[in-house]
Structure 1
């Protein structure tokens, strides 16, 4: 009886490494105002609208030769966010406002700024359109490799995981979706064990800052609680090892949050019978000193994994 071995395809979500943001007037307003009861149907509908909108935005920017046609944006990020994230936002003309994770309420601050300046709020995860946009990473990966049987994806607020799970299971109903959280911030895993959305008592202590949420978002939880087949956790050391592996073998610079799914595969947390595995590596927002320090602490594998 022959042993079934798993092979791995790594999909890099380029949109998370280059922080391009577009806002469109009337069409965008239509997107945000749509109300559909079924969460998965809403995400798939949003996906179609986003793909159409992307063509319009790309054409508009190409014609003008500048990004001046895009609406100004104020982006609220943690004070300890990696430097490249803030720099990327400012380079595109955005305004950056920071907050302290341990003592300030991000959502309250966002609501205050929006009310004061007359701005529309674009959530980081709690939106069907955000889920759909993030899920295009899975759309591209499965379009290139329809033979994938298991898809592994990072989970924080849950937008990427929800979009990935919805689109992947629409394209391939039998595919397995495994979510990966940092061990210090496993809000989704705890919620799944309890059967309801649970909030962690403190801000998670993990190098995966992008996944440092105290609770899954309400809309993403409604999707992920149904569509994620499993959720596993990885340690900071697992994440560091994955960052070093991606750099040495894939020539990819991944931030800690973006390397979590790869960490689960390299750490042997994905069942051997998973068949062809797809891994979403999402996010390159890490400054050079931090990246160098982390990969220097990595523990080398005896044998390179087949990725």
Structure 2
């Protein structure tokens, strides 16, 4: 069994952080929903470059799941998560329960616009309100100098970055590149839901994005490259939610390579599993 310190209440967390601050130490936060994998470990390893102390939160946040989504079956593996965090040199695992995070009478959420509009919210309209609210709480509970998020959830990274800036939250939000399997599939806690056949098909998403990026770089109009990628994903057996080109900083729709840095983003269902991915279009 790991010996990592595990805290379950906000009061305990704040006391631990105060002690670190009294010693002049910088603090990093890695927010997670558990079911940790190599992508999460990459966030923890990156945190060492920015801070003296690291907190990993492990909390399956109910407010970011719609009633039809997989909250009940989302993997919960706290002991294994603590082992991985300990091996990565994390100081504290913060593992509150839902009542600690949302006490009786809780009635406040963060209202969003800008990068939160479109893409995910076309299909999960309440998702980012739940994400932003829990992240804002984690920021105020932990008061980190830096917080690290994976680029796999690129829209989430943009939403959190915008929220921290708009609300003057004193934390630097840092994006960490997506960690992939050898065949290109982005690591995700939901990959365990894929059947063997679906797992063989899943890397098509990454290939389709790369083909679209290459086509755009070679001069093909953005709209044409995107439509070809959508066709490839559908023909591969996915039910496509979206595949689109957006401005990499604002996530506003973008029509041409010269209009700014481009990020290609996709979400699609393979069987019962929803997968997301994204890549930049190189300058």
TM-score norm. by structure 2 comes to 0.29
Higher helix share: 1
Higher strand share: 2
TM-score norm. by structure 1 comes to 0.28
Does 1 or 2 have the higher relative contact order (CA < 8 Å, sep 6+)?
1
